[in-house]
Structure 1
Amino acid sequence: MTDPRRRGQNIWIDTDSGFIGAAWYWPLQVPAASTVVVIVPGIVHEERTMNGGLVALAESLADAGLPALLMDLHGCSQSAGRLEDADIGACWSAGIKAAVHHARCSGAARVIVVGVRLGVPLAVEALVDEPLAALIAWAPIVNGRRYVRELKMLQRTTDADAAAAGTIAIGGFSIPASVLDHISHLDLGEVETPATSFVMSRETLEGLNAPWLARLSQRGIIVQEQISTQIHPWLFSATDQPTMPYEDIQALTRWCRVLHDEQAVSGEPVLRRPMPRPVIEFVHQDVLVRETFVEIAPSGLTGVLSEPVNAAGDHPVRLLVSTVGPGRTFADFARDEASRGKTSLRFDFAGFGTSGRGDAAQGGELYTDSGGHDVLAAIEHLRGAGYKQIYSLGFCAGAWSMMQADVVPELRAMVAINVALYRQPDPKTPDSVERKRHLLGQITPALARNRLVRRVAPRLVRLRGKRHEPVDWLVRMCNTNVRMLLAYADLDLGLEYLNRQMDKGVREQLGRPFTLQTYAGLGHLAEGPTARARLFGDITDFFADLDREATSNHAPRAKASLAARSRIAAPPRTKTAGGRSVRS
């Protein structure tokens, strides 16, 4: 079973169109084989959904002795650029080529490329002249035009400007018309034959015997097919935490290891673990910006520190609870703030992205105490780096955990986007249940997160007494000098719940009023691009106003001495222009 303490080594890789983020997963307990596996993900909402499975695949490959390199595509996750960039197809190809070249620089005798969803046709397009040991197509997008039609059926936005521009909004991500146009021209049935002797497809039963595979077989490529029953629950479920495709991961790992054992010969060079490159400098909005991958103890959380190379004095640091955020807005916001002379740290919870998992099971968990602990670990990291003032920013479950964390003296302001104050914390699994789950997980990894086992925990905890509701955290925060901004989509369930609670007497418990702003067309996942742009413009202004107060020596000092039970009358509601701004 994969060691849960394993953590990828995050690096930057230069490309012809900028740079990409990537993570090496290197064997720890066994010698590194001479075959390296490069993993090419999908994009936007699918890239976020599949991330946990791809990290688990990289870990499994490393445990089998095969170094694995998990890359980001241009305009996605931590890589340079945006999806709106000109000639996005060339940018994607440049990143994939750079990742394979980087893998070869380790001394690899051969490279296997694993493409997932859109990553399959993108890899085939980019690497048509690149000799590969094998190409693995995992749940591939075969026809781009059909895929675009499916995306249009899934879109949720009511943003008229976005619709007029041909943009699709799904899962908080905006896919511009130029990207859709490039995707629509991708077709595995028409691409040139890849430079490899082996192609393996792992697909659902409906995807077997595809014509594009028959075409490759006719051209002399050895084609193998495997049936997957886990693609749908992994990639297409409606839950916050998709089912991990353990059976697929084990099957792909075995296939790669067998291929290596068949092709390896004696005397092959020993692989060299590439030198880490955690720091990169680049020009963003005409300002030289530096980004550094950092590790946040004790769970080994992945963080990215964004700062201007020529820092302008002491100022409050921004703490962003996610390296990506809705629609990758947190990465863009951090870089925008760096161009304005401000420093930001964005990080992922344990078990998400490339963050370590501590002693947890595979994958991360939302709405538990662990999220609040991770926020405090990030604050402690900033404290150790010498930062004395912090503004925090979180979205949805990230905002929830941000509010759950204890108030610390360094905290000056907090912005929570679409936070679900009605969401009760998931109860901590009792030690006896956790031990049984861990034992089952050692036998079959899929049982490590068995739903039937996990249902026992809430029943046991209910016998121990009721947990505090998240609205109490808001009251606690508003009885300090921390400035609070709550931002909601105008029809969000969290907003409806908050208003009901205010009418039930919460308003009288607030020592300091919070600011509430609502945005028509934003949506719960912040998928409305026009409203989202207005939202982040308001957040920028909110932080900038506080910066001006700080430089004028009028910045509020955060104090946690007032208990949440204090009942101090708050000012009445007032409305102001723009969106809807309410002081509650």
Structure 2
Amino acid sequence: MAFETVPVGSDAAASPLPLSPVAFDGLFGWFGPGISRRGVVLCATHGYEQLSAHRPWRALAEGIATTGCATLSFDYPGTGDSADAEADSVEGRVRAIRRAIRHLRDEAGVEEIVLVGLRLGGTLAALAAEGDHVDRLVLLAPFATGRAYLREMKMQSRTIGRLPDGSPLPQEEGCLTVGGFHLGPALAAELSVIDLTKAERAPAPDILLVGAEAGGLGPRYAALGARVTTRPFPGLAALVANPLYAETPDEAFSAVIASVAEGAQPRPVPAAALPPLPANPIRGDGWWEEPSRFGPSLFGILCHPRDVEAARPMVLFVNAGTNVHSGWGRQTTTLARRLADQGFPSLRMDLRGIGDSPNRPGGASPLYSLDALDDVRAALDRLETVRSGPIVIVGACSGAYLAFRAVCREERLKGAVLVNPYCFDWNPADDVDSVIRNVFRNASTYAGLLKQGAAWRRLARGEIRVGAIARAITRAAIGRVGKRLALLLRPRPAGGSVAQRIAALRRRGAHLELVYSAGDRGLAALHEALGRSPARMARRLGGPVTIIEGADHDLSPAAAQARMTEVLERLLARLR
């Protein structure tokens, strides 16, 4: 029996139907039983790179599932939606891969195993294969050594998650932070001793290396007796460099799908005869979680307290940008479990077009689109089936914009925490992509930067492009004038000005908390709506605006996350 390879970009490959959420041994994943003797385990990369690659990686898993191969994609311990045991351990991740192999053998009845690993996931897959029988290994731009991986992460840490003034985010002592993900000293020490080129046997008889030659791995594995095939990896940078603009590398992924499905044979036991998967939620000391589908095939994770108290408020987390529901630096998963430990249930959801929810019609972006309010309503309906009680919505960046519009329209929402909203009303004349890609800051930020001695030294060395800054300031000034004229000419939003809508929220008893990183670009919209005086803003909001020093737009530092958590916990306590 031959299996058809479905292109990654096709509608069939984009459908969420072939895969279902599953939990096993404290790990969360997506599983398709398939109809062949062959099973494929996808081993993701780590941290910020995987945050960027999440949706294309899911498309790869779905494409593999459509070939008939049993397919399992999962989160390592301490990542995504998995439990936290063995979170800072290379061995813990290697054991997780082996548990995934065992799960495929037990639940899908497969006889052959293929491991597909991306970047660090390729390195881990090779390590796992050295101690387990694997028939085929597909390594996508793997690191031959852990030191090579650490060197690259150190370089990324200097460019990802910068402060509003453009300076690098300070690193916490003993910890490497890349895009909000913290790599601690214990894990770094384990990574530093990995060297795949010292393998004493081939990890699999058939190996596909995708990408630039990684430290001599190909010749080494060939010398150990493996049949090694190599091919280029066009589109790698666009896959792992930025969650907002991640692109599926169709050519490379189609080649991977063809490779893993080649020669696969049907198994004698049809899929319908396989035993159903047992219910096995992810659990912690004070919480337990279950995957949930609701509305138009939307996906989210319900986090329940171990001890139920009906009067406690519930929390709805919406996506920040295009980050999957676990959040930047996995902040949302961590926060949801902390709240559940205190008795507060929550739902962290993916809007259509983000994470594990289906595409929006036409593949449109959900950012700053008001039809995303329909997704929020579906999530509120789902929360109301959990228990009755007040609901608080939490969003950052574009999610904060959506949360503000939702709390204004939905009386079921009794409060909102808005983190670094760029605006409260989106101007349809603005291009979302252009606004997001704009790297220049406002004039006051540049003025503050140039007062610093380090900035003067950079200026003297020619590292600061004065002409570009001047042009940016001029464009910003012209843009502000144009926006003010546009505001005067266009109709007022329903409900009146931002200040009027906030006043209406307060009259109905809803609470609004605003949290900003010091110097964030969104402060301009706040001052335009509520004034510059902290006292005046506090009178209009019913409380002060929280300004966090030393934080980037995404609140990567642990101290910044803790401050935002305090604000949310204060609001929940007020609603109890």
Alignment-derived partner of residue 183 in structure 2: 175
2:303 match: 306
SS for the counterpart of 1:102 is helix
Task: Give distance in 1, aligned partners of 2:365 and 2:202.
Answer: 36
SS in 1 for 2:231: strand
For 2:572, the equivalent position in structure 1 comes to 543
Per-residue CA deviation, residues 325-376 of structure 1 (Å, 9 max, x unaligned), is 2211211111111111221111112232222235453x96433234332222
Native 8 Å contact 1:293 1:303 kept in 2: yes
For residue 12 of structure 1, the aligned residue among 23, 48, 69 is 23
Task: Tell me which residue corresponds to 1:252.
Answer: 256
Cα deviation 1:443-491 (Å, max 9, x = unaligned): xxxxxxxxxxxxxxxxxxx9xx969789956753442232001111112
Structure with the largest fraction of helix: 2
Q: What's 1:39 paired with?
A: 42
1:191-230 equivalence runs, <5 A: 191-203=199-211, 207-208=212-213, 210-230=215-235
Counterpart of 2:11 in 1: which secondary structure?
coil
SS in 2 for 1:414: strand
- Residues 290 and 226 (structure 1 numbering): CA distance in 2 closer, same or farther, change over 3 Å? same
CA distance in structure 2 between the aligned counterparts of 1:427 and 1:33, rounded to whole angstroms: 52
1:495-536 deviation digits (Å, cap 9, x = unpaired)? 233224433999799975464101111211211222222221
What is the 5 A alignment of 1:376-387?
Answer: 376-387=377-388
Aligned partners of 2:539 and 2:409: how far apart in 1? Answer: 15
Cα distance in 2 for partners of 1:475, 1:226 equals 60
* Residue 422 of structure 1, CA deviation: 6.9
Matched, 1:21 2:28: yes
SS at match of 1:193: coil
Please say if residues 399 and 416 of structure 1, whose CA atoms lie closer than 8 Å, have aligned partners that are also in contact: yes
The corresponding residue for 1:66 is: 69
Which one of the candidate residues 2, 19, 40 is aligned to 2:11? 2
Partner of 1:432: none
What is the rounded CA distance, in whole Å, between the counterparts of 2:78 and 2:68 in structure 1? Answer: 31
Contact map agreement 1:125 1:191 (CA 8 A) in 2? no
* Local SS of the residue matching 2:423: coil
Q: CA deviation at 1:160?
A: 12
Distance of 1:495 and 1:132 partners within structure 2: 54
Tell me which residue corresponds to 1:521: 550
Opposite residue 142 of structure 2, the aligned amino acid is P
Of 501, 517, 522, which residue of structure 2 is paired with 1:476? Answer: 501
Paired letter, 1:331: T
Stretch of structure 1 that moved more, 208-217 or 473-482: 473-482
- Mapped partners of 1:196, 1:468: distance in 2: 65
**CA RMSD in angstroms, aligned pairs only:** 3.3
1:383–1:177 CA distance, 2 compared to 1 (3 A): same
- C-alpha contact 1:306 1:343 (8 A) present in aligned 2: yes
TM, length-normalised to structure 1: 0.76
* Higher mean C-alpha displacement, 59-68 vs 267-276: 267-276
| Contact 1:109 1:269 survives alignment (8 Å) | no
In structure 2, distance between residues paired with 1:356 and 1:26: 21
1:49 lines up with 2:52 in the alignment:
yes
Q: Please say if 1:488 is aligned against 2:498.
A: no
2:415 pairs, out of 413, 416, 424, with 413
Q: Which amino acid aligns with 2:50?
A: E
Q: Could you tell me which amino acid in structure 1 is paired with residue 549 of structure 2? A: A
Inter-CA distance 338–505: structure 2 relative to 1 (3 Å threshold): closer
Alignment correspondent of 1:108: 110
Residues 168 and 176, structure 1, Cα contact 8 Å, conserved in 2: yes
Structure 2 counterpart of 1:304, one-letter code: I
Q: What does residue 530 of structure 2 align with?
A: 502
Unaligned runs of 5+ in 2: 1-9, 320-324, 432-485
Contact 1:422 1:469 in 2 (8 A): no
Aligned position for 2:315: 318
State the SS of the aligned residue for 1:369.
coil
In structure 2, do the counterparts of structure 1 residues 138 and 475 end up closer, same or farther at CA, with 3 Å as the change threshold?
A: farther
Aligned length: 490
Where does residue 458 of structure 1 map in the other structure?
none
Q: 1:474 to 1:369 in 2, by over 3 A?
A: farther
Q: Is the 8 A contact 2:396 2:421 kept in 1?
A: yes
Residue by residue over 1:165-189, the C-alpha shift from the partner in whole angstroms, topping out at 9 and shown as x without a partner, is 2212221222222222222222221
Q: Identity percentage over the alignment? A: 22
What displacement does 1:393 show?
1.1
CA deviations on 1:199-234 (whole Å, 9 max, x unpaired) are 10111xxx1375111110011100011112111122
Match of 2:57, SS state, is: helix
| TM-score after normalising by structure 2 | 0.77
1:97 and 1:275 map into 2 onto residues whose CA distance is: 21
Structure 1 425/10 Cα, relative in aligned 2: closer, same or farther at 3 Å? farther
- CA gap 1:63/1:282 in 2 versus in 1, 3 angstroms: closer
CA contact (8 A) 1:368 1:427 kept: no
Aligned 1:74-223 pairs, distance under 5 A: 74-81=77-84, 85=87, 88-105=89-106, 106-155=108-157, 156=161, 163=171, 165-203=173-211, 207-208=212-213, 210-223=215-228
Distance in 1 of aligned mates of 2:150 and 2:537: 51
Instruction: Say which SS state the counterpart of residue 312 (structure 1) adopts.
Output: coil
Taking a change above 3 Å as real, the CA distance of residues 267 and 147 of structure 1, as seen in their structure-2 partners, is closer
Local SS of the residue matching 1:493: coil
CA contact (8 A) 2:37 2:111 kept: yes
- Distance of 2:493 and 2:140 partners within structure 1: 42
Counterpart for residue 389 of structure 1:
390
Unaligned runs of 5+ in 1: 430-461, 548-584
Do the aligned partners of 2:239 and 2:247 also contact (CA within 8 Å) in 1?
A: yes
Show the counterpart of 1:567: none
